[in-house]
Amino acid sequence: MKNRLEELRKQQGIRQEELASALEVSRQTIGSIENGRYNPSILLAYKIARYFGMTIEEVFIFEETKDEH
Amino acid sequence: MNTKRWFYGFLVLLGIGLLLVGVLVFNSSETKMASGLSFGIGAATSGLGIGWLIRSFVVTSIEDEAIRKSKEIEINDERNTRIRERTGYMVARIMNYVLCVFILILGFMGADRNIILMVAGLILLEGLLTIYFSSRYSKTM
């Protein structure tokens, strides 16, 4: 699943550490989500979307053809 | 913070006391095991006490709170939780194969039947635990 997290974070001039602290997750988790290595839980996805004042669909892009784990 | 420091100081003294008991009281050949035990526990207790005591002077209470929160985040972090779960699953799977191979090796070596049965019991226990926890989690998820 692709996402716009890095783009949105940079637009607002927030560091990974700051975002991680606000969402109460580790900085590595934010990095992994941005790189597409890790797909967050629905709860974290919701928290991220709410942090940027958007819906989940606006932040995360679901690709049906790709094999998801 | 002061109560903690007193406790760490107590641990240091307790450890030193146990070390001295290990050296001075249990010094005959009959009490060699008690001496070793006393010495070991004493060394560990005093070591921990000294470490925590130093840490309590170096790290301020504000820093302590920040470290505690950061640790809490690391532990509850969902990615770390998933990593732990996957690691546990892979280790259990690999250990299952390792134990099977181990039984075969023991059999070829002509090991005592009781030892082979004990190792086979471990595989059985692993299977029973898998059934128990699968059933438990399937009811809660």
Where do the domains of chain A lie, and which CATH numbers do they carry? 2-61 (1.10.260.40)
For residue B3, the model assigns a pLDDT of: 82
Task: Spell out the domain ranges in chain B.
Answer: 2-75, 77-140
A40 in contact with chain B, both atoms CB, cutoff 8 A = yes
CB contact under 8 A, A29 and B77: yes
Residue B1, pLDDT score: 60
Query: Phi then psi for B77, rounded to 5 degrees?
Result: -55, 130
**Residue A2 host element (H or E):** strand A2-3
pLDDT of residue A67: 55
- pLDDT by residue for chain A (69 residues), tens only, comes to 889 999 999 999 999 999 999 999 999 999 999 999 999 999 999 999 999 999 999 999 987 765 555
Tokens 């009281």 identify what position? B25
Provide the β-strand partners of residue A60.
A3
d(CA A30, CA A23): 9
A44–chain B Cβ distance below 8 A for any pair = yes
Residues of B in contact with A32 (CB under 8 A): 79
Using a CB–CB cutoff of 8 Å, tell me whether B141 touches chain A. Answer: no
Query: In B, which residues are within 8 Å of A28 by CB distance?
Result: 77, 79
- Asked if B78 reaches chain A (Cβ–Cβ under 8 Å), the answer is yes
CB B61 within 8 Å of CB B1: yes
Name every chain B residue with its beta carbon within 8 A of the beta carbon of A29.
77-80
Cα B110 to Cα A34, B105, B117, B120: the distances in Å are: 56, 9, 13, 15
ipTM of the complex as predicted: 0.83
Identity of residue B8: Y
Please state, in angstroms and rounded to a whole number, the distance separating the CA atoms of residues A62 and A65: 9
Strand partners, A3: A60
* Minimum distance, in Å, between the CA of residue B80 and any CA atom of chain A: 8
Provide φ and ψ at B85, rounded to 5°: -65, -45
- pLDDT number for residue B95: 93
Phi and psi of B31, rounded to 5°? -105, 30
Chain B residue whose CA is closest to A42: B78
- In tens, the pLDDT along B78-117 reads 999 999 999 999 999 999 999 999 999 999 999 999 999 9
Q: Which residues of chain B, if any, have pLDDT below 70?
A: 1
Evaluate whether B44 touches B17 at the Cβ level (below 8 Å). no
CA distance A18 to A36: 19
